[in-house]
Protein backbone atom coordinates (compact mmCIF):
# COMPACT_ATOMS: atom_id res chain seq x y z
CA UNK A 1 0.00 0.00 0.00
CA UNK A 2 1.45 3.44 -0.80
CA UNK A 3 2.92 5.38 2.08
CA UNK A 4 1.17 8.58 1.04
CA UNK A 5 -2.23 6.98 1.49
CA UNK A 6 -3.67 8.67 4.56
CA UNK A 7 -7.10 7.06 4.43
CA UNK A 8 -7.30 5.30 7.79
CA UNK A 9 -10.60 3.67 6.95
CA UNK A 10 -8.99 1.35 4.39
CA UNK A 11 -7.46 -2.02 5.20
CA UNK A 12 -3.69 -2.04 5.70
CA UNK A 13 -1.26 -4.95 5.84
CA UNK A 14 1.26 -5.87 8.50
CA UNK A 15 3.96 -8.52 8.30
CA UNK A 16 4.60 -10.73 11.31
CA UNK A 17 7.88 -12.64 11.28
CA UNK A 18 8.37 -15.78 13.36
CA UNK A 19 11.76 -17.20 12.60
CA UNK A 20 11.78 -18.10 8.91
CA UNK A 21 7.97 -17.96 8.68
CA UNK A 22 6.18 -14.78 7.62
CA UNK A 23 2.51 -14.07 8.14
CA UNK A 24 0.36 -11.18 6.96
CA UNK A 25 -2.10 -9.36 9.20
CA UNK A 26 -4.84 -6.94 8.15
CA UNK A 27 -5.40 -3.75 10.13
CA UNK A 28 -8.37 -1.42 10.02
CA UNK A 29 -9.99 1.25 12.14
CA UNK A 30 -13.00 -0.32 13.81
CA UNK A 31 -16.30 1.40 13.03
CA UNK A 32 -18.67 1.21 15.97
CA UNK A 33 -22.33 0.32 15.53
CA UNK A 34 -25.36 1.19 17.62
CA UNK A 35 -25.19 -2.21 19.35
CA UNK A 36 -21.73 -1.57 20.78
CA UNK A 37 -21.18 -0.32 24.28
CA UNK A 38 -21.29 3.47 24.70
CA UNK A 39 -18.10 3.37 26.76
CA UNK A 40 -16.26 1.61 23.94
CA UNK A 41 -17.50 4.10 21.35
CA UNK A 42 -15.68 6.94 23.12
CA UNK A 43 -12.25 5.38 22.49
CA UNK A 44 -10.59 4.62 19.11
CA UNK A 45 -10.22 0.92 18.39
CA UNK A 46 -7.98 -0.96 15.97
CA UNK A 47 -9.22 -4.19 14.39
CA UNK A 48 -6.48 -6.75 13.73
CA UNK A 49 -7.58 -9.61 11.44
CA UNK A 50 -5.99 -12.88 10.34
CA UNK A 51 -4.10 -13.33 13.61
CA UNK A 52 -2.71 -16.89 13.87
CA UNK A 53 -3.67 -19.14 16.75
CA UNK A 54 -0.21 -19.12 18.32
CA UNK A 55 -0.41 -15.36 18.93
CA UNK A 56 -2.00 -14.19 22.17
CA UNK A 57 -2.98 -10.88 23.75
CA UNK A 58 0.52 -10.35 25.12
CA UNK A 59 1.95 -10.48 21.60
CA UNK A 60 -0.61 -8.00 20.28
CA UNK A 61 0.16 -5.66 23.17
CA UNK A 62 3.87 -5.95 22.42
CA UNK A 63 3.29 -4.94 18.78
CA UNK A 64 1.34 -1.75 19.52
CA UNK A 65 2.33 -0.64 23.03
CA UNK A 66 4.90 1.86 21.66
CA UNK A 67 2.15 3.66 19.71
CA UNK A 68 0.32 4.82 22.83
CA UNK A 69 -1.54 3.68 25.92
CA UNK A 70 -3.67 0.58 25.33
CA UNK A 71 -6.88 0.44 27.36
CA UNK A 72 -8.06 -3.05 26.44
CA UNK A 73 -7.51 -5.95 24.05
CA UNK A 74 -10.36 -8.26 23.08
CA UNK A 75 -10.23 -11.41 20.93
CA UNK A 76 -13.01 -13.08 18.91
CA UNK A 77 -13.33 -15.90 16.41
CA UNK A 78 -14.98 -13.76 13.73
CA UNK A 79 -15.14 -10.02 12.97
CA UNK A 80 -18.26 -8.14 13.94
CA UNK A 81 -19.66 -6.31 16.92
CA UNK A 82 -17.49 -6.41 20.02
CA UNK A 83 -19.09 -8.91 22.39
CA UNK A 84 -17.60 -8.87 25.86
CA UNK A 85 -17.69 -12.26 27.63
CA UNK A 86 -20.16 -12.39 30.51
CA UNK A 87 -18.03 -14.80 32.52
CA UNK A 88 -14.31 -14.37 33.10
CA UNK A 89 -13.62 -17.84 34.39
CA UNK A 90 -10.18 -19.36 33.89
CA UNK A 91 -11.35 -22.96 33.80
CA UNK A 92 -14.89 -22.46 32.43
CA UNK A 93 -14.57 -20.03 29.51
CA UNK A 94 -17.78 -18.98 27.78
CA UNK A 95 -16.16 -19.10 24.34
CA UNK A 96 -12.96 -20.61 23.01
CA UNK A 97 -10.94 -19.33 20.08
CA UNK A 98 -9.89 -21.87 17.46
CA UNK A 99 -7.77 -21.13 14.42
CA UNK A 100 -7.33 -17.58 13.21
CA UNK A 101 -8.58 -14.79 15.46
CA UNK A 102 -9.65 -11.16 15.36
CA UNK A 103 -8.25 -8.76 17.95
CA UNK A 104 -9.73 -5.40 18.93
CA UNK A 105 -7.13 -3.05 20.42
CA UNK A 106 -8.61 0.00 22.15
CA UNK A 107 -6.30 3.01 22.52
CA UNK A 108 -6.65 6.04 24.72
CA UNK A 109 -6.05 8.59 21.94
CA UNK A 110 -6.66 8.85 18.21
CA UNK A 111 -2.99 9.64 17.65
CA UNK A 112 -2.03 6.21 19.00
CA UNK A 113 -4.47 4.56 16.61
CA UNK A 114 -3.10 6.54 13.68
CA UNK A 115 0.46 5.50 14.56
CA UNK A 116 -0.61 1.86 14.81
CA UNK A 117 -2.28 2.00 11.39
CA UNK A 118 0.81 3.52 9.74
CA UNK A 119 3.36 1.49 11.65
CA UNK A 120 3.02 -1.66 9.60
CA UNK A 121 3.84 0.13 6.34
CA UNK A 122 7.35 0.97 7.44
CA UNK A 123 8.23 -1.71 9.97
CA UNK A 124 8.21 -5.49 10.20
CA UNK A 125 6.43 -6.70 13.31
CA UNK A 126 8.37 -9.52 14.95
CA UNK A 127 7.24 -11.96 17.61
CA UNK A 128 9.71 -12.36 20.43
CA UNK A 129 10.24 -16.11 20.56
CA UNK A 130 13.64 -16.20 22.22
CA UNK A 131 12.23 -17.50 25.51
CA UNK A 132 9.00 -18.92 24.19
CA UNK A 133 7.98 -22.05 22.31
CA UNK A 134 5.12 -21.84 19.81
CA UNK A 135 3.21 -25.07 19.34
CA UNK A 136 1.63 -25.86 15.99
CA UNK A 137 0.02 -28.87 14.34
CA UNK A 138 -0.13 -32.12 16.29
CA UNK A 139 2.28 -30.70 18.87
CA UNK A 140 -0.25 -28.01 19.67
CA UNK A 141 -3.04 -30.59 20.01
CA UNK A 142 -0.99 -32.61 22.48
CA UNK A 143 -0.04 -29.45 24.38
CA UNK A 144 -3.69 -28.31 24.58
CA UNK A 145 -4.72 -31.75 25.82
CA UNK A 146 -2.14 -31.67 28.62
CA UNK A 147 -3.14 -28.11 29.55
CA UNK A 148 -6.83 -29.10 29.67
CA UNK A 149 -6.30 -30.74 33.08
CA UNK A 150 -6.46 -27.89 35.61
CA UNK A 151 -4.84 -27.66 39.00
CA UNK A 152 -7.27 -29.02 41.60
CA UNK A 153 -6.55 -26.44 44.27
CA UNK A 154 -6.91 -23.48 41.90
CA UNK A 155 -10.04 -24.98 40.37
CA UNK A 156 -11.61 -25.51 43.80
CA UNK A 157 -10.70 -21.95 44.82
CA UNK A 158 -12.46 -20.55 41.75
CA UNK A 159 -15.52 -22.71 42.39
CA UNK A 160 -15.66 -21.52 46.01
CA UNK A 161 -15.46 -17.87 44.92
CA UNK A 162 -18.25 -18.39 42.42
CA UNK A 163 -20.51 -20.19 44.92
CA UNK A 164 -19.92 -17.56 47.62
CA UNK A 165 -20.88 -14.81 45.19
CA UNK A 166 -23.94 -16.80 44.08
CA UNK A 167 -25.05 -17.42 47.69
CA UNK A 168 -24.69 -13.73 48.52
CA UNK A 169 -26.73 -12.81 45.44
CA UNK A 170 -29.46 -15.32 46.39
CA UNK A 171 -29.68 -14.00 49.94
CA UNK A 172 -29.99 -10.43 48.66
CA UNK A 173 -32.77 -11.44 46.24
CA UNK A 174 -34.69 -13.18 49.05
CA UNK A 175 -34.38 -10.10 51.27
CA UNK A 176 -35.64 -7.87 48.45
CA UNK A 177 -38.61 -10.21 47.89
CA UNK A 178 -39.54 -10.10 51.57
CA UNK A 179 -39.32 -6.31 51.66
CA UNK A 180 -41.44 -5.87 48.51
CA UNK A 181 -43.92 -8.66 49.29
CA UNK A 182 -47.46 -7.33 48.77
CA UNK A 183 -46.26 -3.87 47.72
CA UNK A 184 -47.50 -2.77 44.27
CA UNK A 185 -45.01 -1.36 41.78
CA UNK A 186 -45.27 1.91 39.84
CA UNK A 187 -47.96 0.49 37.55
CA UNK A 188 -49.96 -1.01 40.41
CA UNK A 189 -48.95 -4.64 39.86
CA UNK A 190 -48.09 -6.91 42.78
CA UNK A 191 -45.44 -9.53 42.17
CA UNK A 192 -46.46 -13.01 43.30
CA UNK A 193 -43.58 -15.01 44.74
CA UNK A 194 -43.27 -18.54 46.05
CA UNK A 195 -42.92 -17.17 49.58
CA UNK A 196 -46.42 -15.67 49.77
CA UNK A 197 -49.53 -16.89 51.60
CA UNK A 198 -50.31 -19.35 48.82
CA UNK A 199 -46.94 -20.31 47.31
CA UNK A 200 -46.92 -22.31 44.12
CA UNK A 201 -45.37 -25.73 43.77
CA UNK A 202 -41.80 -25.57 42.57
CA UNK A 203 -41.12 -27.65 39.46
CA UNK A 204 -38.39 -29.88 40.78
CA UNK A 205 -37.63 -33.46 39.80
CA UNK A 206 -38.87 -34.78 43.15
CA UNK A 207 -42.17 -32.86 42.96
CA UNK A 208 -42.77 -34.02 39.38
CA UNK A 209 -42.19 -37.63 40.45
CA UNK A 210 -44.62 -37.28 43.34
CA UNK A 211 -47.27 -35.76 41.06
CA UNK A 212 -46.92 -38.60 38.54
CA UNK A 213 -47.23 -41.19 41.30
CA UNK A 214 -50.35 -39.48 42.63
CA UNK A 215 -52.00 -39.47 39.20
CA UNK A 216 -51.04 -43.10 38.67
CA UNK A 217 -52.55 -44.10 42.03
CA UNK A 218 -55.74 -42.16 41.27
CA UNK A 219 -56.19 -44.01 37.98
CA UNK A 220 -55.56 -47.32 39.69
CA UNK A 221 -58.17 -46.64 42.36
CA UNK A 222 -60.84 -45.83 39.81
CA UNK A 223 -63.25 -48.70 39.15
CA UNK A 224 -63.34 -49.65 35.50
CA UNK A 225 -66.88 -50.69 34.52
CA UNK A 226 -66.02 -51.91 31.03
CA UNK A 227 -62.93 -53.77 30.04
CA UNK A 228 -63.33 -53.80 26.25
CA UNK A 229 -63.46 -50.97 23.76
CA UNK A 230 -66.75 -52.08 22.17
CA UNK A 231 -68.41 -51.99 25.62
CA UNK A 232 -67.22 -48.40 26.08
CA UNK A 233 -68.61 -47.43 22.68
CA UNK A 234 -72.00 -49.06 23.45
CA UNK A 235 -72.22 -47.29 26.80
CA UNK A 236 -71.52 -43.92 25.13
CA UNK A 237 -74.20 -44.56 22.52
CA UNK A 238 -76.72 -45.54 25.21
CA UNK A 239 -75.91 -42.35 27.10
CA UNK A 240 -76.52 -40.26 23.98
CA UNK A 241 -79.87 -41.99 23.33
CA UNK A 242 -80.88 -41.35 26.94
CA UNK A 243 -80.03 -37.66 26.65
CA UNK A 244 -82.00 -37.35 23.40
CA UNK A 245 -85.10 -39.01 24.96
CA UNK A 246 -84.89 -36.69 27.93
CA UNK A 247 -84.61 -33.72 25.57
CA UNK A 248 -87.77 -34.78 23.72
CA UNK A 249 -89.65 -35.25 27.01
CA UNK A 250 -88.61 -31.78 28.14
CA UNK A 251 -89.86 -30.28 24.88
CA UNK A 252 -93.26 -31.91 25.42
CA UNK A 253 -93.44 -30.58 28.98
CA UNK A 254 -92.53 -27.05 27.85
CA UNK A 255 -95.18 -27.14 25.11
CA UNK A 256 -97.85 -28.30 27.60
CA UNK A 257 -96.93 -25.50 30.00
CA UNK A 258 -97.30 -22.92 27.21
CA UNK A 259 -100.73 -24.25 26.24
CA UNK A 260 -101.91 -24.18 29.89
CA UNK A 261 -101.14 -20.50 30.26
CA UNK A 262 -104.09 -18.16 30.68
CA UNK A 263 -104.20 -14.38 30.30
CA UNK A 264 -105.23 -12.94 33.68
CA UNK A 265 -104.47 -9.20 33.73
CA UNK A 266 -106.47 -8.63 36.99
CA UNK A 267 -106.06 -12.08 38.50
pLDDT at position 219 over 80: no
Beta bridge partners of 125: 16
The chain-wide mean pLDDT, for the chain, equals: 76
pLDDT at position 143 over 70: yes
The whole model's pTM is what? Answer: 0.48
pLDDT at position 179 over 70: yes
| Per-residue model confidence (pLDDT) at position 123 | 43
Mean pLDDT calculated for residue range 170-187: 82
Mean pLDDT calculated for residue range 31-45: 67
Q: Which residue has the higher pLDDT, 25 or 88?
A: 25
| Per-residue model confidence (pLDDT) at position 245 | 94
pLDDT at position 34 over 50: yes
Mean pLDDT calculated for residue range 56-65: 82
Among 165, 120, 130, 114, which residue's Cα sits nearest to residue 9?
A: 114
pLDDT at position 54 over 50: yes
| Per-residue model confidence (pLDDT) at position 241 | 94
What is the 3-state secondary structure of the chain? CCCCCCCCCCCEEEEEEECCEEEEEEEEECCCCCCCCHHHHCCCEEEEEEECCCCCHHHHHHHHCCCCCEEEEEEECCCCCCCCCCCCCCCCCCCCCCCCEEEEEEECCHHHHHHHHHHCCCCCEECCCCCCCCCCHHHHHHHHHHHCCCCHHHHHHHHHHHHHHHHHHHHHHHHHHHHCCCCCCCCCCCCCCCCCCCCCCCCCHHHHHHHHHHHHHHHHHCCCCCCCHHHHHHHHHHHHHHHHHHHHHHHHHHHHHHHCCCCCCCC
Amino acid sequence: MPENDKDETSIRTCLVKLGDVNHTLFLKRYKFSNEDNEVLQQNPTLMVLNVPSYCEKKHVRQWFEDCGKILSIHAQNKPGNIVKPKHTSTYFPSTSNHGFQVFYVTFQSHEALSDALHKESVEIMECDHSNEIFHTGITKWCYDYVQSFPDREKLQAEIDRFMNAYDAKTVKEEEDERENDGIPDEEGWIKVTRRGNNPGLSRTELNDFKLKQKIKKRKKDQVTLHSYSYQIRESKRAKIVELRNKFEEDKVKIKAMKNARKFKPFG
